[in-house]
Amino acid sequence: MRRPLEQVAVGQELPDLRRVVTREDVQAYADAGGDHNPLHRSDEFARSVGFDGAIAHGMFTMGHMAACVVAWAGEADAVSAISAQFRATVSMGQEIVAGGRVRAIDTEARTAVLELWVSSERDGELEWPIKRGEATVRLGS
């Protein structure tokens, strides 16, 4: 069931969605998504190209952001556009938090534009694996 237009207001926040990124989940993502870059599996390879160890796919983080949107929108089919800019890498064992808020509503088209982000704390510093995420969601009646 899609979220009804009547239950949406500009400025409304989406509930945060948290997860700890594990090697097993990243491997399962690589298999399902088809991105087998060793950067996301091998610490040794990742170090050889200048990282501290294997990192999650940007698309893993974006998939998590999309899950936050789908949970709010009510169904996957409600999402008609989604975008992200990747600004920080995510290491194995790191917790990521997806969030967002309603930026605009089109009552005629029954759509909402959401601004989205994914934050993460690393060594006490707040980082933004995704900044300026955005999605367009079709609303129900």
Partner 1 sequence: MPAVNPEAEGTRYPDVPFVVDTERVRAFRAVFGQAGGVPPTFLTAAEFSVLPQVIDDPALGLDFSRVLHGGQSYELERPLREGESLTVRARIDSVRVRAGSAFVVIAMDLFDDDDVPVAHARSTMIERASA
- Which parts of this chain interact with partner 1 (CB under 8 A)? 25, 28-29, 31-35, 37, 49-50, 57-60, 62-64, 66-67, 70, 75-77, 79-86
Closest distance to partner 1 from the beta carbon of 51 (Å):
10
Q: Which is nearer to partner 1, 48 or 107 (CB)?
A: 48
- Residue 88 Cα distances to 29, 107, 131, 141, angstroms: 19, 35, 9, 38
**In sequence order, what are the beta bridge partners of 36?**
none
> Look-up: residue for tokens 């991105």?
35
Q: Which is nearest to 121 in space by CA: 26, 16, 17, 20?
A: 20
Q: Which is nearer to partner 1, 9 or 49 (CB)?
A: 49
Closest distance to partner 1 from the beta carbon of 137 (Å):
10
